Amino acid sequence: MSDLVLPDESYAIMGACFEVYKEMGCGFLEAVYQECLEYEFADRKIPFISKPPLRLQFKNRQLKTFYQPDFICIDQIVIEIKAVSTLADEHSAQVLNYLNATKNAPWHTRKLWTSPQSAVQANRSNQLKSLGPAFAPFRVFRGQLRMSDYTTVIGLEVHVQLATESKLFCRCSTKFGAEPNTQTCPVCIGLPGSLPVMNRAAYELALKTAVAINCDIPEFTKWDRKQYYYPDLPKGYQISQFDLPMSDDGYLEISDPKGRFEPKRVGIIRAHLEEDAGKSVHDEAAGKADSEIDLNRTGTPLLEIVSQPDMRSSAEARVFLQELKLLLTYLGVSDCNMQEGSLRVDANVNLHIDHGPERIATPIVEIKNMNSFRAVERALDYEAPRLYREWQETGRKLGDAPKQTRGWDDVAGVTRAQRSKEESSDYRYFPDPDLTPVVLTASAVNEVRETLGELPAALRSRLSADYQLSAYDADVLVNQGRAVVDYFLAVADATADPKSACNWVTQQVLRELKERDQSIDQFAIPAPALAGLITAINDGRLPSTRATEAFQLMLAKGCNVESALTELKIERVDESALIALVQDLLAANPKTVADIRAGKLQAAGSLIGQAKKQNPNVDPNRVRELAIELAGKDDA
């Protein structure tokens, strides 16, 4: 469902209704929400995906003169507009009085909502300050409604499948896509008498990641058994790490080139190794067939990275995940393929509510089943208002109810309760007697630190400082991966023109890679060839208007710029020949000369097409410059 943009008149009606119901002692949102319960839209499937919405039908004739939208979206709950029209008609006199009283006021002081477009185009802080009393309890975020009298508190748990060929404690393959239950052995399915042996490569990858996210690395760490029952956990326990993890107390710095939040440091509580469970396969379509168990994934090495609850919006959470994924791919520790389960995210969220002099924390909710960063963002945007409504109804504080696990329904756009979350004591941790602890020296950690190379944050800073790229351009390049950055650096260094190199790489090259579904290593134009193209443009051998034509020929034939120039018959135009050509054109177009002398310099543009017909290699900009210059002379 696409974002809905309502016209100003509709916002005015909603703002008026809000004011009327506020005077009556109940908020407009709560009134609409209660009215909509009878339609069973709240916290349920969105009906308008499968059937057309009803039209807005005001009984009051004066209200009918306002624009009539199909539906509105409040806290991601699609509400039948019939409910709004009913409420407005019941108190039409008050609504019309408010509209008439504010009819001369600017629209932004009359509306309760603002459209996504205007929120982006206007300066956000100045806009919100000017919204007036009708907007006081609310603020805009991503074009949706959020309450300003609470703070959303978000922490993330990220499970990263490490890029090893075998599992964490046995030699079974970790290759994705094999036939179910064909990559198992007595160790990973927990048969009596089998003994696990730690995969050294998995530990080294985990250590590399922990150092990169600035964690403290203890000299001593051990393995623990986490006891719980799942049908896809044949041993009845998971080998993990409890009180002595392999790393803790780290951080990851995040920033947003779009400026949605200030740069900040997100703390990392811990990063520890554990084995994965199996996979339960359910009948998602009909819900009638038996559930099946695939144990191929059992024992796969996972690095669980647990953040501090330092994020305050879904935008911050998404940027944190994007930055972490980018870091992991630069390190080469995981392919981070969310569709294959190589990167999984659980979000912990609650609210801090300012209630009089008291700040109240609501019970924590853990959200699961999010298979994309966009899903994480949408789930958090949905869950925060839902938690606020729940607190309004129950008044429950942190500690009054157990932590709840909720699953994200991406189709319906809602979270659904699944179970109460266990506490750590429920897992009955104890040291695994079959595995020896791991002892690590400080020199070994330093050796790992020296192998990290240049990480994304440092690379962005270097591109901005040494190559004078904007924060946005540096971010685009770095986000494409190290191979694309190296390609850019080779082009920029060869041409001494980093801005042109950036433009060609981020526009032409990346577009071609996307259309052809290729990596930069497969691209038909190597960095030296693109550098030659840019150099030919800069020294005037290749007109900028024909540069794309030459680029496409180089791409199609794999040739260099010299061959492209020859085949396209592009030659440098002698300055004296160009002057003579422009003089002839001016002589043949006296009206153009008169217009230029009268100050209408744009008239020179009419000569460019004529010049290119006679010589396609002319530089349009130079033709225009000469036309203006020569037209001003008396002998023109």
Per-residue pLDDT of 310-359, as tens digits, reads 999 999 999 999 999 999 999 999 999 998 999 999 999 999 998 878 88
The listed range with the strongest mean pLDDT (175-179, 230-234, 258-262) is 175-179
Q: Is residue 449 part of a domain?
A: no
CA gap 424, 283 in Å, rounded: 31
Q: Is residue 442 part of a domain?
A: no
Give me the pLDDT at residue 478, please.
96
187-210 pLDDT per residue, tens: 999 899 999 999 999 999 999 999
Q: Is residue 349 part of a domain?
A: yes
Specify whether 407 is located in the same domain as 550: no
Residues 171, 31: contact at Cβ < 8 Å? Answer: no
* DSSP-based three-state secondary structure for 470: coil
CA gap 276, 572 in Å, rounded: 64
Specify whether 279 is located in the same domain as 396: yes
Quick one: average pLDDT of 283-297? 84
Specify whether 122 is located in the same domain as 72: yes
Band of pLDDT at residue 536, cut at 50, 70 and 90? very high
Split into its structural domains, the chain has a count of: 4
Specify whether 341 is located in the same domain as 261: yes
3-state helix, strand, coil in the chain (%, to 5): 45, 20, 40
Residues 241, 221: contact at Cβ < 8 Å? Answer: yes
Specify whether 224 is located in the same domain as 344: yes
Give me the pLDDT at residue 127, please.
37
pLDDT greater than 90 at residue 131 = no
The listed range with the strongest mean pLDDT (110-114, 460-464, 567-571) is 460-464
Owning domain of residue 232:
152-426
Band of pLDDT at residue 94, cut at 50, 70 and 90? low
Domain end call among 501, 529, 560: 560
Helix axes 314-331, 456-467, angle to 10 degrees: 90
Quick one: average pLDDT of 358-363? 92
Give me the pLDDT at residue 135, please.
31
pLDDT greater than 50 at residue 123 = no
pLDDT greater than 80 at residue 5 = no
Q: Is residue 443 part of a domain?
A: no
Report the percent of the chain where pLDDT is more than 90: 54
Mean residue pLDDT across the chain: 80
Specify whether 312 is located in the same domain as 186: yes
pLDDT greater than 80 at residue 77 = no
* DSSP-based three-state secondary structure for 343: strand
Give me the pLDDT at residue 18, please.
53
Specify whether 200 is located in the same domain as 136: no
Specify whether 268 is located in the same domain as 343: yes
Of 422 and 406, which is predicted with more confidence?
406
373-404 pLDDT per residue, tens: 999 999 999 999 899 988 988 889 998 888 89
501-532 pLDDT per residue, tens: 999 999 999 999 999 999 999 999 999 999 99
Give me the pLDDT at residue 162, please.
98
Q: Is residue 544 part of a domain?
A: yes
Beta bridge partners of 247: 271
Domain end call among 526, 560, 594: 560
Residues 387, 351: contact at Cβ < 8 Å? Answer: yes
Q: Is residue 274 part of a domain?
A: yes
Specify whether 143 is located in the same domain as 163: no
Specify whether 107 is located in the same domain as 224: no
- What CATH code is carried by the domain that includes residue 608? 1.10.10
Specify whether 351 is located in the same domain as 291: yes
Give me the pLDDT at residue 527, please.
97
Give me the pLDDT at residue 355, please.
81
